[in-house]
Structure 1
């Protein structure tokens, strides 16, 4: 477990200033949320795989879910990998949005 030194926690080049040792639960809460988000992404891709959005969106989402799971450990992988994980997640959302817009135009036209 990370122990704060003089109220500072450093991981991956970022510094989080804490007012006391009890606040380190904030980091572990963020870590837990990142793991839950990655699992939710993977489960959502299981559903997307059989929907009209298509298998490419699902397979890209599987990769993003794995990257999110890796990015949930910033003190182990570093800031570059966390950035790649977050960038892939944003790209997946854009990809899904474009797929949904494409399906809307097919339904209207």
Structure 2
């Protein structure tokens, strides 16, 4: 249900079943990623960062989780930590142009 809402673009509503699923299976990275995406897309950046932080702790080489964590941290007013995670994402997947763009934008903004 949560994934369907997320895919349909109903991000705020998707957070409800996804948060419940994350509480029931906190070790499931895919659920936390979906919840983080829903929170991010509904402008709940600090809460999204918490979900991506949990993924990074469990899967430290997950480039997408580092990227999303960096974006969420940046938008929640924590640019120092954001730079670190955006740099990690860029180093883990140097072919990802989007990672480099956000990393470089944040560097220039400092």
Q: Higher relative contact order at CA 8 Å, sep ≥6: structure 1 or structure 2? A: 1
Q: Greater helix percent: which structure? A: 2
Q: TM-score range by the shorter chain?
A: under 0.3
TM-score, normalised relative to structure 1 = 0.27
Q: Greater strand percent: which structure? A: 1
